[in-house]
């Protein structure tokens, strides 16, 4: 049975602090040898993910900005399917509204609540680099958001709770990835993953899907794969996600990622 890997990036395939994937290289090479697709499913932008895809020689579809859109390389699937736009390199399935519309909602809520919502759209590259540990190149790529907004709320706990409640009442969803909130409208990792699973089934027949993540914003993806996997967080704990069949692998970030791949692919 053909396998397909769906994976988060930050804190999973990539070290949460250094953004290194070195500990996962052996497992990535194993997947390449066995011609097993590696689908990024991350909060990262298209241009961020393209940089890692190039470095790791990955040519499979990828899901950006927590499910805002799916980018599928031209001619990857040998049949027509519904998509929203075509670029030079990709057929694009868009699930989320534009980041500009998301920012407009956040600005309105900021005024209503009387808090300070500071998004990547309001932050310069140097600040993003300093706060995230990204280098300047990747901080600039992280700013190029198309389908969501990454932000912090500076306010009392009560006002933060009120702002988050208003975000949901405005029809947006939000996730919290450990450093920042992300708000979007229309898509999530689960919806995007399900669409790709169906396309892979049409291409490959019977498949087994493996999803690897580390925190709450990966739950929608983990809920729809056959084998959900959690790697350890920096404190060596696993996120509590309430899935009965989750495989909790020992190892923080890419160390756990590599261990999971070796076990699940070679078993």
Mean predicted confidence (pLDDT) in 184-208: 96
Is the pLDDT at 237 greater than 70? The verdict is yes
Strands 2-7 and 181-184: unpaired
What's residue 184's pLDDT? Answer: 95
Q: Is 163 left (phi over 0), alpha (psi -120 to 50) or beta?
A: alpha
Q: Which of 8, 15, 60, 214 is catalytic?
A: 8
CATH number of residue 208's parent domain: 3.40.50.1000
Same domain, 33 and 85: yes
Residues 6+ apart with CB under 8 A from 244: none
What's residue 39's pLDDT? Answer: 98
Helix axes 46-56, 136-143, angle to 10 degrees: 130
Average pLDDT, the chain: 95
Mean predicted confidence (pLDDT) in 223-233: 97
Is the pLDDT at 265 greater than 70? The verdict is yes
What's residue 267's pLDDT? Answer: 63
Any idea which of 55-59, 165-169, 183-187 has the lowest mean pLDDT?
A: 183-187
Same domain, 16 and 79: yes
Same domain, 61 and 192: yes
Confidence of residue 242 (pLDDT cuts 50, 70, 90): confident
Rounded to two decimals, the pTM is 0.95
How many structural domains are present in the chain? 2
Pick from 6, 69, 68: nearest CA to 207? 6
Give the structural domain span for 142.
Answer: 99-184
Same domain, 152 and 197: no
Same domain, 197 and 74: yes
What's residue 94's pLDDT? Answer: 97
List, edge to edge, every strand of the sheet that includes 207-213: 85-86, 90-94, 69-73, 62-64, 38-41, 2-7, 207-213, 227-232, 247-252
Catalytic residue flag (residue 8): yes
Same domain, 175 and 66: no
Same domain, 69 and 124: no
Same domain, 116 and 46: no
Using the 3D structure, point to which of 118, 149, 184 is the last residue of a domain: 184
CATH number of residue 163's parent domain: 3.30.980.20
Is the pLDDT at 205 greater than 90? The verdict is yes
Mean predicted confidence (pLDDT) in 72-84: 97
């Amino acid at each position: 049975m053909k396998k397909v890997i769906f994976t988060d990036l930050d804190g999973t395939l990539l070290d949460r602090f250094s953004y290194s994937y070195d500990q996962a290289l052996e497992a990535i090479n194993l997947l390449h040898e066995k011609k097993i697709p590696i689908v990024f499913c991350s909060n990262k932008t298209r241009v961020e993910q393209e940089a890692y895809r190039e470095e790791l020689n990955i040519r499979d579809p990828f899901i950006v900005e927590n499910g805002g859109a799916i980018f599928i390389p031209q001619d990857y699937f040998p049949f027509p399917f519904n998509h929203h736009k075509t670029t030079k390199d990709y057929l694009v399935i868009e699930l989320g509204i534009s980041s500009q519309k998301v920012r407009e909602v956040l600005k309105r809520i900021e005024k209503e609540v009387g808090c300070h919502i500071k998004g990547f759209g309001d932050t310069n590259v140097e600040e993003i680099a300093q706060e995230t540990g990204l280098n300047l190149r990747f901080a600039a790529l992280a700013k190029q958001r198309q389908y969501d907004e990454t932000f912090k709320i500076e306010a009392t706990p009560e006002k933060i709770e009120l702002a988050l409640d208003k975000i949901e009442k405005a029809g947006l969803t939000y996730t919290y990835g450990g450093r920042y909130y992300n708000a979007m409208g229309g898509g999530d990792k689960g919806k995007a993953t399900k669409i790709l699973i169906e396309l892979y089934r049409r291409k490959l027949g019977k498949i087994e899907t493996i999803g690897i993540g580390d925190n709450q914003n990966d739950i929608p993806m983990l809920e729809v794969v056959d084998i959900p996997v959690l790697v350890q967080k920096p404190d060596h704990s696993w996120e509590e996600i309430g899935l009965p069949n989750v495989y909790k692998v020992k190892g923080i970030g890419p160390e756990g990622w590599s261990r999971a791949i070796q076990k699940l692919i070679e078993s």
